[in-house]
Amino acid sequence: MMPVNPTLKSLLDDLAKNGDAVSIAYAHNYLFEERIAADRQRAYEDDFAPARTDLKAWKESHNGRYCYSKIMMAGNQTPETFSEINRAAFLTGLEESQHVVRLECLDGVLKGSGLTLAELAEHLEIWRERKKPSDDKVTVEDAKAVLEDFCQKWNNERDNRPMFAAFYDEIKEDIEAPDWTSRVRDRLGLSHYDVLYPEKNIPVALMLYPVSKILKGLKKEEKERAFAVPTVLDGDLNTHFFPTPASANYGRTLDLEPDPNCERLVSEILHRRIDYAPDHFLKFGEISTPIPPHARGKALAALRNQHLFCLRYETGMEGFGEDISV
């Protein structure tokens, strides 16, 4: 996607030619994008292009003004992702029985719930009758009530932003591994779940639900716009996001671990917000490790170049994108 706004064009040209690996990644994500219709690009650049030719100004305009007015919507407002202006990225034809997963950070909602992660996990096991209550006064019904109350509080706090998700079958092996929290984080490219200090573990929930749950209660037109392939305009500027060629069925997560044999590409989709319920909890855990060193600083160039090679190999689009040379 070639920018038309002169300020944004000048900035991206400078970042791509003179920036470090991280700065180049920001520019490449915009330049490589193939799923933005002309009217969406024009609206974005007319209203949200940076006022100055520096990365900080672009982040302030995009992550602040744009995302909070067009993507991270409050109440029942529809994000731009699922409106007609994003028609070039709409995704249809998913099987209703297909299951998707999300890895959610519970840090904020746990603090306001009065529960610990261990207590939440115990209630889930009691409700599923996999574990005998440690307190004989806790029944299966009690455990379900605790989980329902937790979900209600959480749903009330969440906004209406698009939900990134992956297909369960593609990462089942990682989900079942003992170190599943870090493995799933890395496969899905969730670099913001980064543990920088040993005492700052990140409590997470792995959510699992079928496509039918996302479609439930939607009108016909809403169902046709319930899913989309992720684009550079569907969230904050993120160096661990990577656009896909328009010919690819889905997005592809940027694995935080190397993938020299192109065996770890994971499909990525966006879907409309749903309210969570107890039966969406698959498991709870804590991320206790930092993101891999391959995903930081100068090393990011090799990681992204390898991912680009795999995208080209998978799609046959040899002319897609450009390597980072630093």
Model pLDDT for residues 148-198, shown as the tens digit of each residue: 999 999 999 999 999 999 999 999 999 999 999 999 999 999 999 999 988
| 74-78, 303-307, 317-321, range with the lowest pLDDT | 74-78
Per-residue confidence at 82, pLDDT binned at 50, 70, 90?
very high
Q: Which tokens belong to 188?
A: 């899905």
pLDDT of residue 170: 98
Closest C-alpha to 253, from 188, 326, 203, 319: 188
pLDDT of residue 59: 98
Per-residue confidence at 323, pLDDT binned at 50, 70, 90?
very high
Packed helices 21-32 and 6-18: angle between N→C axes, nearest 10 degrees? 130
HEC secondary structure over the chain:
CCCCCHHHHHHHHHHHHHCCHHHHHHHHHHHHCCCCCHHHHHHHHHHHCCCCCCHHHHHHHHHHHHHHHHHCCCCCCCCHHHCHHHHHHECCCCCCCCEEEEEEECHHHHHCCCCCHHHHHHHHHHHCCCCCCCCCCCCHHHHHHHHHHHHHHHHHHCCCCCEEEEEHHHHHHHHCCCCHHHHHHHHCCCCCCCCCCCCCCEEEEEEEEEHHHHHCCCCHHHHHCCEECCCCCCCCCCCCCCCCCCCCCCEECCCCCCCCCCCCCCEEEEECCCCCCHHHEEEEEEECCCCCHHHCHHHHHHHHHHHHHHHHHHHCCCCCCCCCCC
CA atoms within 13 A on the CB side of 175: 20
- What CA–CA distance (Å, rounded) separates 290 from 313? 30
Q: Tokens 């599923």 identify what position?
A: 128
Q: Are 276 and 207 in contact (CB under 8 A)?
A: yes
pLDDT of residue 131: 67
Q: Are 93 and 54 in contact (CB under 8 A)?
A: no
Residues 6+ apart with CB under 8 A from 53: 7, 10, 11, 14
Q: What is the mean pLDDT of residues 250-276?
A: 97
- Asked whether residue 75 carries a pLDDT value surpassing 90, the answer given is no
Q: What is the mean pLDDT of residues 1-25?
A: 98
Rg of the chain's alpha carbons, rounded to an integer? 20
Per-residue confidence at 265, pLDDT binned at 50, 70, 90?
very high
Rounded to two decimals, what is the model's pTM?
0.95
> What is the pLDDT of the chain when averaged over all its residues?
96
Give the distance from CA 168 to its chain's centroid: 14
List, for residues 116-138, the tens digit of each pLDDT value.
Answer: 999 999 999 999 886 666 666 78
Q: Are 84 and 228 in contact (CB under 8 A)?
A: no
- What CA–CA distance (Å, rounded) separates 288 from 78? 35
Q: What is the mean pLDDT of residues 135-148?
A: 86
- What CA–CA distance (Å, rounded) separates 153 from 103? 18
- Asked whether residue 270 carries a pLDDT value surpassing 80, the answer given is yes
CA atoms within 13 A on the CB side of 105: 14
| 137-141, 197-201, 274-278, range with the lowest pLDDT | 137-141
